[in-house]
A = this chain, B = another copy of it.
């Protein structure tokens, strides 16, 4: 399992983050990760095919929202909370304060 490419915090772009969050599936993933400290891709697929989920996770990674770490045969995902808060103070809180509707 080769390591994922995660952008450095100073390469985060607001537009890319918004683009990532404009999809309901991805927004739901982010909300879920906010509640659970970490989760595997499989825990978050909602019955969707793995290739679709892999696509969504890649977009979340590329935007800098999510960090994925291989742990054995599983991949653990976490929100990049600290870096996001440092780079865009208040943004994550404003997003996650919302109920899931």
Contacts and interface: CB of A to CB of B under 8 A. Distances in A.
A22 B27 contact: no
Q: Which of A94, A97, A98: most chain B Cβ within 10 A?
A: A94
A89 to B, nearest CB: 6
A43 interface: no
- Taken together, the copies of this chain in the complex come to 2
Interface stretch (A13-21, A45-53, A70-78): A13-21
Interface residues of A, number: 21
Nearest to A23: B15
A22 B19 CA distance: 5
Interface of A: 13-16, 18-19, 21-24, 27, 88-91, 93-95, 97-98, 101
